[in-house]
């Protein structure tokens, strides 16, 4: 293992017959793939700061050939998703447990990561100030499986939580999540499709009781991310 320049590390490893020279951006790509449940190639490009998709795809291909990541397709019309392999998890020193993918959750999780990118690029949130739902549950430990938001971020000493709500939950459960977010975080942002009128109505009504609620249209997020 060697370090190049200003704290940038690289190493040469051999996986099967492929010799790979890993640099810090490779580790950054793998760390982001590891902490989000579903990651698209276009999202890796923005999270890792590539100037173009072609350069990102070449690096992803190299990491696949080296055995550190894998690409899988689950739904028609949805691009392939990237995951760490056993070797990739071992390299990063994270849990070796295989990722569980729920088909009904894939679109939601893709939208969640688009929201992360939206806050990073539009609101200048630092990537290292963001925690995924997965990380929040890891902090809870295995004995505590309470509801956690899709992600949180810190800005100016305030903690924000973000929830992507595509389908209406049971009213009691929905209202409990809103209350829990009010008690736990300084602000709660709900990202909702503009067609989900009932969800917006409940949030609007609850905002009278819990004034830290903000609502953003999912279409605004999607449009902004496409423009980057």
> Which residues form the domain of 28?
9-99
Contact by Cβ (8 Å): 192, 218: yes
Model pLDDT, residue 34: 96
The residue with greater pLDDT, 172 or 11, is: 172
pTM of the entire predicted model = 0.89
Give the rounded percent of residues in the chain with a pLDDT score beyond 90. Answer: 82
pLDDT digits (tens, 9 = 90+) for 33-91: 999 988 999 999 999 999 999 999 999 999 999 999 999 999 999 999 999 999 999 99
Model pLDDT, residue 3: 34
For the chain, the average pLDDT equals 91
- Whether the per-residue pLDDT at 141 is higher than 80: the answer is no
Model pLDDT, residue 9: 52
Mean pLDDT within 217-225: 98
Q: Is residue 4 part of a domain?
A: no
Same domain, 157 and 81: no
Model pLDDT, residue 142: 63
SS3 state at 227: helix
Q: Is residue 1 part of a domain?
A: no
Tally of domains within the chain: 2
Model pLDDT, residue 98: 85
- Whether the per-residue pLDDT at 156 is higher than 60: the answer is yes
- Whether the per-residue pLDDT at 144 is higher than 80: the answer is no
The residue with greater pLDDT, 19 or 225, is: 225
The CATH number that applies at residue 126 is 3.40.1350
Paired tokens of 71: 């690409």
Contacts 24+ apart (CB under 8 A), 133-138: 134/35, 134/36, 134/37, 135/35
Distance of CA 194 to the CA centre of its chain: 22
Q: Which of 79, 99, 119 is the last residue of a domain?
A: 99
Taking Cα atoms as reference points, which of 170, 149, 134, 166 lies closest to residue 212?
149
Model pLDDT, residue 220: 98
Q: Which of 45, 73, 99 is the last residue of a domain?
A: 99
């Amino acid at each position: 293992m060697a370090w190049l320049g200003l704290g940038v590390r690289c190493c040469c490893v051999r996986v099967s017959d492929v010799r790979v020279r890993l640099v810090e951006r490779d580790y950054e790509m793998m760390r982001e793939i590891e902490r989000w449940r579903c990651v698209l190639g276009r999202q890796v490009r923005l999270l890792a700061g590539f100037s173009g998709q072609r350069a990102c795809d070449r690096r992803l291909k190299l990491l696949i050939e080296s055995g550190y990541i894998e690409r899988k397709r689950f739904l028609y019309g949805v691009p392939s998703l990237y995951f760490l392999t056993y070797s990739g998890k071992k390299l990063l020193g994270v849990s070796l447990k295989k990722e569980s993918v729920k088909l009904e959750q894939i679109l939601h999780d893709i939208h969640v990561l688009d929201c992360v990118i939206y806050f990073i690029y539009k609101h200048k949130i630092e990537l290292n100030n963001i925690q995924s739902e997965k990380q929040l549950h890891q902090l809870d430990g295995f004995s505590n499986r309470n509801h956690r938001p899709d992600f949180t971020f810190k800005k100016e000493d305030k903690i924000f939580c973000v929830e992507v709500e595509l389908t209406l939950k049971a009213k009691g459960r929905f209202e409990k999540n809103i209350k829990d977010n009010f008690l736990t975080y300084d602000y709660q942002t709900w990202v909702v499709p503009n067609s989900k009128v009932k969800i917006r109505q409940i949030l609007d009504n609850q905002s009278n009781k819990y004034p830290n609620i903000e609502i953003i249209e999912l279409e605004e997020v999607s449009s902004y991310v496409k423009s980057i």
